[in-house]
Amino acid sequence: MRHDILVHHNTMRAAGGALAIAFLLGIAGTATSEEHSKKAGNATKSCCAPSAADAAPQAQATYRRSVEEVTIPDLTLVRMDGRKVALRDELAPDTPVMMNFIFTTCTTICPVMSATFSQVQEGLGGGREKVRMVSISIDPEQDTPRRLRDYARRHEAGPQWHFLTGSVEQINEVQRAFDAYRGSKFNHAALTFLRGPGASQWVRVEGLVQAEAILTEYRKLEVAQ
């Protein structure tokens, strides 16, 4: 069972790099609690299909946070370097993990989320080496290891930030494990998952949050250890 709470992050600053990348299509509502409350009755608003709202996505000071148990599927995926890796090893419980779902041809929330992860690794400084950052493609038919490498370079991903792909069936199974599956990549929601070292529970952050919010959540996990 997952218990959601709303968090108001007063120290958020404008993420210039992330928001400059974001354009088009009204998906700002994915980061608000109002849209979340509608999710039970309606499919999550598309991240990548045209919207009549035509508003740029905006980072929100309020986001939805919950803590949940996740059973990691026993799957072998493919990393951006072409190496086959066990998902459970990539998300090893003795290592702090930050994870999201993206795809390389997404033009709305994925570039924002990836730019935010890039800012997070900058904010971690020398401590980034202790953290495993993972981005899993939800478009495995298009996102080959080579495409993921190119995407990683564009976002200046460090060696601690791994990009994974696999078969459609495998990727759908991973999304379902994290309650992130929405039936289509076009219904992709802005979700970030964090887990502290040695912890069994994951923090689920819903919304287009900025880097400082993710870093704050990570520091809470550090203190809890």
Transcribe 26-89 into DSSP letters. --GGGGSHHHHHHTTTSPPPPSSS--TT-------SEEEEEEEE------EEEETTS-EEEHHH
d(Cα 30, Cα 34) in Å, to the nearest integer? Answer: 9
pLDDT of amino acid 26 = 38
The identity of residue 174, as a single letter, is V
- The pLDDT profile of the chain, 225 residues, written as one tens digit per residue, is 555 565 655 544 444 444 333 433 333 333 333 443 344 333 334 455 544 334 446 555 578 999 999 999 999 999 999 999 999 999 999 999 999 999 999 999 999 999 999 999 999 999 999 999 999 999 999 999 999 999 999 999 999 999 999 999 999 999 999 999 999 998 999 999 999 998 989 999 999 999 999 999 999 998 776
Q: Residue 98: helix, strand or coil by DSSP? A: strand
The identity of residue 151, as a single letter, is Y
Q: Report the top-level CATH class of 3-224.
A: alpha beta
Q: What is the DSSP pairing of strand 3-8 with strand 62-69?
A: antiparallel
pLDDT of amino acid 35 = 40
Domain segments of the chain as ranges: 3-224
